[in-house]
Amino acid sequence: MVKQVSAVDKLKGRVTLPGDKSISHRLLILNAMSEGISEIENICLGDDVKSTAKCLTALGVRISFDGTDAVVEGVGLHGFIPPQGILDAGNSGTTMRLMAGLLAGQPFESTVDGDASLRNRPMGRIIKPLVEMGASVKALRADDKPPIVIKGGKLHGIYHRPPVASAQVKSCVLIAGVLADGLTTVSEVYPTRNHTELLLSSMGAEIAIDNQDVSINGLGDKALQPLSMRVPGDISAASYFMVAGSIHDNAYLTIPDCGVNPTRRRIIDLLCGIGGDVKLANTRKSGPEQVADIIVQTPSSPLASFELAGRTTADLIDEVPILAVLATQCNGQSTIRDASELRVKESDRIRSVVNGLKVMGADVQELEDGMIIKGPSKLRGAIIDTYGDHRIAMAFSIAGLIADGTTTILDAQCVSISYPGFYRILESLAC
């Protein structure tokens, strides 16, 4: 599918968000491990979350959907059945990594594979700790690339310090820790998104946090309690519209029911810090997660440049493509560093972003672990190769709203991975 985006005179209206993708994955997996029935409202219906649901169904979990609501019938920690075939994670690294933590504690062999893009993403960072915990985990291709074969066993707790901050690696090890004997501790380089810890704690697991160390006691004969809740709107999805409202010269957008978990809201802090006009209203809770309505409008003065590095980059890793678009409209030089893991996402996101910005006329320099962008630049419409990457497609669609001429987005259907209604919403805001 090809989408064409042109500049609009005004952006105004309400943005309907999909349920948070990270929370949706975790609620499905953890409720499948519980004993009882859970009801999940506003679950993300993107392809990635569907991959997680399909894997769980293949392991004997009953999951039913009614629109954006889901009912999960938990099978307990050890009620999963051996799959009849290969578990397909599709394009979802989250599915593969979190399911690996679950499968590491099951007394049968499973193979988890994915599409061509996922097959190029190394899994060594989860293989190492799971093997140390007592599971047999092997990648069938060079450089620890999928498919991976997991033979679960009797796990024991470990102390693990990942070399790179990663919420997916942390969550994989913590999920395995639920099934392990003793204490499992993940010591992070930087604190990452904490949805797994919040949900596990709400479901009765013993979670302890000491600075950057997150620990969990194996449940043994105890059970996880099912957790019913409404999934907050996805703040990563909201980031595209927050940036759109900040770089367009006539915008007023309302984004209701968005998750504003403190480990995920750095995008709001960044925009406010460089002169953006972003406000929160009606702050409340959904389950253990914080939720608010976000109001963003055209700022009253030019935006300042910014720098991402270290922990800030880790907190904003999913938002780097749209933040690069933002940087083209900021005064001065913006720098993004310590983002090398973007080289092995759905595409090489550093190269994909740099190539797209260059053809649109931006002043951008590629770095091994990021990029340097000088602004402000007047963007021009161009043909954008998304490389099948949903975040590239959405970021450059927003760039097209302020560019001269028409921006053509190739393989635009890839947005269905995380935000199936993205283009419908985008068109509804154009005035």
Q: Per residue in 67-97, pLDDT tens?
A: 999 999 999 999 999 999 999 999 999 999 9
DSSP letter, residue 48: H
* The pLDDT value given to residue 347: 82
| Residue given tokens 């629109």 in the structure block | 67
Confidence of residue 339 (pLDDT cuts 50, 70, 90): very high
Given the residues 318, 338, 389, 411, the one annotated as active site = 318
Burial label, 210 (beta-carbon count in 10 A; 0-12, 13-18, 19+):
exposed
At residue 81, the pLDDT reads 97
The pLDDT confidence band at residue 315, using thresholds 50, 70 and 90, is confident
Q: What is the pLDDT of residue 335?
A: 98
Q: Please give the average per-residue pLDDT across 42-47, as a whole number.
A: 94
Contact yes or no for 254/295 (Cβ under 8 A): yes
Residue 332 in this model has a pLDDT that exceeds 80? yes
Separation CA 235–CA 225 (nearest Å): 27
Q: What are phi and psi of 276, to 5 degrees?
A: -70, 160
User: How many Å apart are CA 333 and CA 258, to the nearest integer?
Assistant: 30
Mean pLDDT, residues 9-28: 97
Identify the pLDDT of residue 358: 98
Please, what's the b/e burial string for 74-83 (b: 16 or more CB within 10 A of its CB; e: otherwise)?
bbebeebeeb
Q: Which CATH number is associated with domain 3-19+232-429?
A: 3.65.10.10
Going by the DSSP 8-state scheme, the letter that residue 366 receives in this structure is E
Does 314 have pLDDT greater than 90? no
Burial class (CB in 10 A: 0-12, 13-18, 19+), 417: buried
* Range list of H helices, 213-348: 235-247, 266-273, 310-315, 320-327
Q: Which H or E element spans position 429?
A: helix 422-429
Over 90: is that where the pLDDT of 165 sits?
no
Question: What pLDDT score was predicted for residue 190?
Answer: 83
The domain ranges of the chain are 3-19+232-429, 21-230
Rg (CA), the chain: 21
- Name the strand (E) or helix (H) holding 141: strand 136-141
Quote the pLDDT of residue 283: 97
pLDDT band at 369 (very low <50, low <70, confident <90, very high): very high
Examine the pLDDT at 345 and tell me if it is beyond 90: no
Phi, psi of 75 (to 5 degrees): -110, 5
pTM equals 0.92
Answer yes or no: are the C-beta atoms of 408 and 384 closer than 8 Å: yes
In sequence order, the 6+-apart residues with CB closer than 8 A to the CB of 19 are 42, 43, 44, 45, 68, 231, 232, 233, 234
> Is-catalytic flag, 318?
yes
pLDDT at 66 over 90: yes
367-381 average pLDDT score: 97
Instruction: Please give the CATH architecture assigned to the domain spanning 21-230.
Output: Alpha-beta prism (3.65)
Amino acid at 45: L
Residue that the structure tokens 């190739």 belong to: 410
pLDDT of residue 129: 98
d(CA 308, CA 192): 15
- The per-residue pLDDT for 164 is 85
pLDDT in tens, 238-255: 999 999 999 999 999 999
Query: 428 pLDDT band (50/70/90 cuts)?
Result: very high
Residue 299's contacts (CB-CB under 8 Å, 6 or more residues apart) are 246, 275, 276, 277
pLDDT of residue 311: 86
pLDDT over 80 at 47, yes or no? yes
Write down the pLDDT at residue 158.
98
At 191, is the pLDDT very low, low, confident or very high (cuts 50, 70, 90)?
confident
- Mean pLDDT calculated for residue range 146-164: 95
- Predicted confidence (pLDDT) per residue in 375-416, tens digit: 999 999 999 999 999 999 999 999 999 999 999 999 999 999
Q: What angle, rounded to 10 degrees, do the helices at 167-178 and 21-32 form? A: 10
Q: Which of 28, 18, 17, 419 is nearest to 199 (CA)?
A: 28
Whole-number percent of the chain with pLDDT over 90: 92
Q: For residues 319 and 237, give the distance between their C-alpha atoms in angstroms, rounded to a whole number.
A: 9
Give the phi and the psi of residue 421 in degrees, each rounded to 5: -95, 15
Asked whether residue 344 carries a pLDDT value surpassing 80, the answer given is no
The Cα–Cα gap between 25 and 52 comes to 6
Q: Tally the C-alpha atoms within 13 A of residue 218's C-alpha that lie toward its C-beta.
A: 21
Cis? peptide before 232, omega within 30° of 0: no
CA distance 401 to 146: 38
How far apart CA 217 and CA 189 sit, in angstroms, is: 21
pLDDT digits (tens, 9 = 90+) for 256-298: 999 999 999 999 999 999 999 999 999 999 999 999 999 999 9
Return the closest-CA partner of residue 228 out of 66, 38, 65, 61.
Answer: 38
Same fold, 3-19+232-429 and 21-230: yes
pLDDT averaged over every residue in the chain: 96
